Amino acid sequence: MSLLIPQYGLFLPAVLAILVYVIRFLAFATIAFFTLDPSRNPGVGYTPIARPAIFNLRSNIHRELLQSLRTLIIFSAVIAVLFGYGLLQSSRLYYQINNYPQWWFWASIPVMIFLHDTLFYWLHRVLHVRPLYELFHRPHHDSLYTTAFTSYSFGWGEALFEAMIVTVILFIVPAHPMAFIAFQTISTAFNIYGHCGRDFFPESMSRHWLGRWLNTSSLHAHHHRFARGNYSFYFTVWDRLMHTLVANGK
């Protein structure tokens, strides 16, 4: 019975985690919304898919914020369980910067990003298989026309799955906590860019030898509108390898 009682408590790590997640998400998403959302008519970039006249921006953002709050609560609960039950002690986190070469501190960040991209691609693709799509992924696709607040607008099941693939990274990649925070901050920023409804990379980038490997807001906008293809997060590597890249959403 004592195994069910957390050794280090759950409340404090949950509160700290939710504060970090919510503040970071709201700060990034709010800035992106007021500077990039098509409704603000920014002077940079273009709108990949135009919103119809009947699109109700206010009600969409209200739904997305509520679902995002639920997602961030689930993320925080997972962190609290990992900390409270001492599971992080079995992870690959290291706390002394000299435990690994200093170059690894910086190298670990792109390594985590590439691993996250792989895990996300396969989770995302599986979630588009019915009935899993109906059970878990449909709430995210209720946003046919995305906003910066769509980025964490998940159903409870998908939010838990997303938390689990990030947890897997903690048990695979040796990472200092600050490097892990940097990875998650980059992830949040890129996720918000992908959903902001605006793009500023030239369309010719898809033909550039290097640019063609970067995922864009345009590709993800087409994914939301047509619910097929473009399953990647940061890069197009897996979409290209698995022939699931849909350049024009048709």
Quote the pLDDT of residue 249: 44
Single out the residue of 85, 64, 86, 82 nearest to residue 180, CA to CA: 82
The whole model's pTM is what?
0.93
Quote the pLDDT of residue 250: 42
Q: Give the span between the Cα atoms of 178 and 197, in whole angstroms.
A: 30
Single out the residue of 246, 198, 200, 188 nearest to residue 222, CA to CA: 246
Single out the residue of 133, 121, 181 nearest to residue 158, CA to CA: 133
Q: What is the pLDDT of residues 90-119, one digit of tens each?
A: 999 999 999 999 999 999 999 999 999 999
What single DSSP character describes residue 66? H
User: What are the distances in angstroms from CA 164 to CA 45, 82, 124, 127, 178?
Assistant: 34, 11, 13, 14, 20
Q: What is the pLDDT of residues 133-176, one digit of tens each?
A: 999 999 999 999 999 999 999 999 999 999 999 999 999 999 99
Q: Would you place residue 44 in the very low, low, confident or very high pLDDT band (cuts 50, 70, 90)?
A: confident
Q: What are phi and psi of 231, to 5 degrees?
A: -90, -5
What single DSSP character describes residue 81? H
Mean pLDDT estimate for the chain? 92
Q: Which has more pLDDT, 202 or 183?
A: 183
Q: Give the span between the Cα atoms of 231 and 244, in whole angstroms.
A: 7
Quote the pLDDT of residue 4: 58
Residue 215 has pLDDT above 90, yes or no: yes
